[in-house]
Amino acid sequence: MDVNAAVAAAAAIVGVLTGAIAVLAFRWSEREQKRPTRTSLHTDPVLPPGVDTVLSVLRSSAVVLDESDAVVKASSAAYALGLVRGGKLAVEPMILMARDTRRDGEIRQVELDLPRRGTGRGEALAVSARVAPLGSRLVLLLVEDLTEARRIEAVRRDFVANVSHELKTPVGALSLLSEAVMGASEEPEAVERFAGRMQIEATRLTNLVQELIDLSRVQNDDPLEDAEPVRVDELAAEAIDRCRHQAGAKQITMAAGGTADLSIWGNRGQLAAALGNLVENAVNYSPARTRVGIAARRVTAPGGDLIEIAVTDQGLGISDKDKERVFERFYRVDPARSRATGGTGLGLAIVKHVAASHGGEVTVWSSEGQGSTFTLRLPEAGEARARATGDHRPGLDEDDETGQTDGTTTVSSPYEPFSAPEVLP
Query: Do 138 and 211 lie in a common domain?
Result: no
pLDDT of 419 higher than 60: no
pLDDT of 425 higher than 70: no
Write the pLDDT tens digit of every residue in 284-293.
889 999 999 9
- For the chain, percent of residues with pLDDT exceeding 90: 19
pLDDT of 370 higher than 80: yes
Query: Do 264 and 383 lie in a common domain?
Result: yes
Task: Please say which residue of 106, 130, 145 terminates a domain.
Answer: 145
Task: Please say which residue of 164, 198, 220 terminates a domain.
Answer: 220
- pLDDT attached to residue 403: 34
Q: Please, which pLDDT band fits residue 18 given cuts at 50, 70 and 90?
A: low
Q: Is residue 205 part of a domain?
A: yes
The three-point CA angle 366-370-375 to 5° equals 35
Query: Do 211 and 273 lie in a common domain?
Result: no
pLDDT of 416 higher than 80: no
Asked if residues 60 and 142 have their Cβ atoms less than 8 Å apart, the reply is yes
Give DSSP secondary structure letters for 167-190. Answer: HHHHHHHHHHHHHHHHHTTT-HHH
Write the pLDDT tens digit of every residue in 117-144.
654 444 678 888 999 998 778 889 999 8
Query: Do 245 and 334 lie in a common domain?
Result: yes
Query: Do 267 and 210 lie in a common domain?
Result: no
pLDDT of 236 higher than 90: yes
Query: Do 83 and 185 lie in a common domain?
Result: no
The upper half-sphere exposure of residue 363, i.e. CA atoms within 13 Å in the direction of its Cβ, equals 13
Write the pLDDT tens digit of every residue in 297-335.
999 888 788 999 999 999 888 888 888 788 877 776 665
Q: Is residue 266 part of a domain?
A: yes
| Beta pairing class for 253-257 and 291-299 | parallel
Query: Do 237 and 342 lie in a common domain?
Result: yes
Does an H or E element contain 378, and which?
Answer: strand 371-379
- pLDDT attached to residue 81: 83
Asked if residues 211 and 222 have their Cβ atoms less than 8 Å apart, the reply is no
- pLDDT attached to residue 22: 58
Query: Do 209 and 271 lie in a common domain?
Result: no
- Which pTM does this prediction carry? 0.53
Q: Is residue 35 part of a domain?
A: no
pLDDT, the chain, mean = 76
pLDDT of 346 higher than 90: no
Q: Nearest Cα to 359, choosing from 239, 422, 270?
A: 270
d(CA 78, CA 134): 18
Query: Do 216 and 241 lie in a common domain?
Result: no
d(CA 148, CA 314): 33
Query: Do 163 and 232 lie in a common domain?
Result: no
Q: Please, which pLDDT band fits residue 19 given cuts at 50, 70 and 90?
A: low
Domain at 181, CATH number: 1.10.287.130
Instruction: Quote the domain boundaries for residue 187.
Output: 147-220
Fill in the amino acid letter for 46: V
Fill in the amino acid letter for 306: L
Q: How many domains, the chain? A: 3
Write the pLDDT tens digit of every residue in 190-204.
888 888 888 888 887
Q: Please, which pLDDT band fits residue 188 given cuts at 50, 70 and 90?
A: confident
Query: Do 165 and 249 lie in a common domain?
Result: no
Task: Please say which residue of 187, 204, 220 terminates a domain.
Answer: 220
Write the pLDDT tens digit of every residue in 70-105.
888 888 888 888 888 888 888 888 989 999 988 888
Q: Please, which pLDDT band fits residue 372 given cuts at 50, 70 and 90?
A: very high
- pLDDT attached to residue 290: 93
pLDDT of 377 higher than 90: yes
Q: Report which of residues 26 and 397 the model is more confident about.
A: 26
